[in-house]
């Protein structure tokens, strides 16, 4: 059984929510690559993660949406190294980073109007571009 993943104060991915298995890797390994199962697939039951408020839980669901299996579990893989235990630690770190990202509340976007100078620069560049195009048109009309 694996250990739980501690994220922040009060936020925990319990060991019961984690399930991992080793599979054949397509990564580095030389002649061993066809014999040794060093790639790690870590599956996490997101509903069991403790300490998340409803907003963080919704953000976690959104972040993990593309990485869910048919049972709704988060699937994280790692084949970065030739060593199975290091790949397991890497997969656990990926889960930890994902949950930490979900804990951060995004800053609300404030609508701003462009400054007067920005508007003037945009209109001036449009005028210059239009002048260039009009000059091009007169050259072909003279033929």
Same domain, 99 and 119: no
State residue 29's pLDDT score: 61
Same domain, 121 and 91: no
State residue 116's pLDDT score: 96
Task: Give the span between the Cα atoms of 52 and 11, in whole angstroms.
Answer: 6
Residues pairing with 23 in the sheet: 39
Task: Give the span between the Cα atoms of 116 and 119, in whole angstroms.
Answer: 5
pTM (global) more than 0.85 = no
pLDDT in tens, 10-49: 888 888 888 898 888 775 666 666 777 888 999 999 888 8
Task: Give the span between the Cα atoms of 69 and 58, in whole angstroms.
Answer: 18
Same domain, 120 and 96: no
State residue 24's pLDDT score: 82
Same domain, 38 and 97: yes
Same domain, 84 and 126: no
Same domain, 125 and 81: no
**Looking at the 3D structure of the chain, how many domains does it have?**
2
Residue at 136 is within a domain: yes
Q: What is the CATH number of the domain that holds 16?
A: 3.30.160.20
Please, are residues 97 and 49 in contact by the beta-carbon 8 Å criterion?
Answer: no
The parent domain of residue 68 ranges over 5-103
Same domain, 43 and 89: yes
Residue at 108 is within a domain: no
């Amino acid at each position: 059984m694996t250990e739980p993943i501690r994220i922040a104060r009060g936020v925990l991915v319990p060991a019961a929510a984690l399930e991992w298995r080793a599979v054949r890797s397509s990564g580095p390994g030389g002649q061993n690559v066809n014999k040794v199962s060093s790639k790690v697939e870590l599956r996490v039951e997101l509903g069991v993660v403790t300490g998340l408020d409803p907003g963080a839980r919704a953000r976690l669901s959104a972040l993990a949406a593309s990485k869910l299996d048919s049972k709704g579990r988060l699937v994280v893989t790692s084949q970065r190294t030739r060593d199975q235990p290091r790949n397991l630690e890497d997969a656990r770190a990926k889960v930890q980073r994902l949950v930490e990202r979900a804990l951060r509340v995004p800053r609300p976007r404030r609508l701003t109007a462009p400054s007067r100078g920005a508007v003037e620069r945009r209109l001036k560049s449009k005028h210059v571009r239009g002048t260039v195009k009009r000059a091009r048109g007169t050259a072909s009309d003279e033929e």
